[in-house]
Homo-oligomer: A and B are copies of this chain.
Amino acid sequence: MNDFIFHNPDKVYFGKNQLEHLSEELLKFGKKVLLVYGGGSIKKNGLYDSIVTIAKNSDIELFELSGVEPNPRHSTVNKGAAICKKENISVVLAAGGGSTIDCAKGIAAAALTENADVWPLVSNGVWVTEALPVVAILTNAATGSEMDAWSVISNMDTNEKIGLGGTALIPRVAFENPEYSYTLPSYQTACGAFDIFNHILDNYYLAGEATFDLLLEMQEAVMRTVVKWTPVAMKEPENYEARANLMWASSMALNSILDGGTVHGCACHFMEHELSAYYDITHGHGLAIVTPRWLTYILDEATAPAIYRLGVKVFGIPENLSAMDGAKKAIEAVTDFCFNTLGLQPNLSDLGIDEKHFKVMAEHACAAGSITGPKELTPADVEEIFKMCL
């Protein structure tokens, strides 16, 4: 068991009737607010109008940056940061899913630098300790960005998708109203849910005997919830319980409560980021394609007991098997969840991806030399896993 630090000062307002607290929270930081949003779904569901009304009634001056991409671009971050500098913005308000919140975090960090381009900050792996405050209104259960210290920014000029992290990037306040996710299509719901699932699995103790039982128990509790409620949300998009369970699961998966000294391998995330960087595919779909192949690739005597435990605790497979047989059944259950329950297309070739860039993508994914985790992965390993996904 490793030592760890837990610290998450984000204040979360969860539920249906919380937006009334928006102005009091924004005004703690100042009156000039940059509203960041994506393709306009917040205009359809009424959230945009609510924000404008609240701002008007509270004497808040609202500036806007719209059109944030599903994999937010550094060029969009640069536009937002320029507005912040020019208008002397006091707080960045993100209204949307994880991409929008990630973009807002990038803007908040870049706004306090002299450089007009955020990319050097991102690519140099600087840990951000100073940024404008970020307030998030979440509309999509997925990335956990509403409660974590990370953002992921893409540079389409260089085919790079890199994490920008820092304590200053944890949103000061987050509003989570499950109703805002009612309009999310089934495909996006499925992709978001698998992102949540994988955030936990990428951090689950898969090698040897686990000793921090409480942490495993809680990780499994959140994964079970995702497995149970995602098909409900896909079938009944306006089922409040389903949307609420998924939304809070999104935050739990990455707010550090489930860390507890585990070693962050993030293997699937590192591999998937290459797929989105090169092909701009939906992150959760890429994860669903990679994850079962990764589990198959790392399965051996050392990892079998933990993979089997996952199958028993999360998918309810029988407890009377050998570790190896149980682990295989567990991987079957994960596979079934990805491609039957969630209905995601199982192969990279289904998304028009071939092996052309696999070698360079694998090297990119192992920028640090290799990917750590239950099994250390070299570029050759990653290339092999990509090929298994074809």
Contact = CB atoms under 8 A, between A and B. Distances in A.
A211 interface: yes
Contacts of A9: 7-9
Interface string A1-21: 111111111111111111000
A70 interface: no
19 contacts: A1-B241, A3-B13, A3-B14, A4-B15, A5-B11, A5-B13, A6-B11, A7-B12, A8-B8, A211-B241, A212-B245, A213-B241, A214-B221, A214-B248, A217-B222, A217-B224, A218-B222, A252-B257, A257-B257
A14 B5 contact: yes
Contacts of A222: 214, 217-218
A261 interface: yes
Interface in A192-238: 211-215, 217-218, 220-222, 224-225, 228-229
Contacts of A4: 14-15
A170 to B, nearest CB: 11
A244 interface: yes
Given A4-B14, A213-B229, A213-B241, 5 more contacts: A1-B240, A8-B9, A9-B9, A212-B244, A221-B221
A287 interface: no
Nearest to A2: B15
Interface in A239-255: 240-241, 244-245, 248-249, 252
Nearest to A216: B221
A166 interface: no
A241 B218 contact: no
Nearest to A219: B221
A253 to B, nearest CB: 11
A109 to B, nearest CB: 21
A373 interface: no
Majority DSSP secondary structure for residues of A touching B: mixed
A163 interface: no
Contacts of A12: 5-7
Contact of A16 (B3, B215, B221, B252): B3
**Which of A11, A213, A261 has the largest count of B CB atoms less than 10 A from its CB?**
A213
Contact of A221 (B8, B218, B241): B218
A15 B261 contact: yes
Contact of A228 (B13, B14, B213, B260): B213
Interface string A140-175: 000000000000000000000000000000000000
Sorted nearest first, the 10 A-B pairs with minimum C-beta distance are A3-B15, A217-B221, A9-B9, A7-B11, A214-B225, A6-B12, A221-B221, A214-B245, A211-B241, A218-B221
A133 to B, nearest CB: 14
**Which of A218, A252, A260 has the largest count of B CB atoms less than 10 A from its CB?**
A218
B217 A225 contact: yes
A179 B257 CA distance: 21
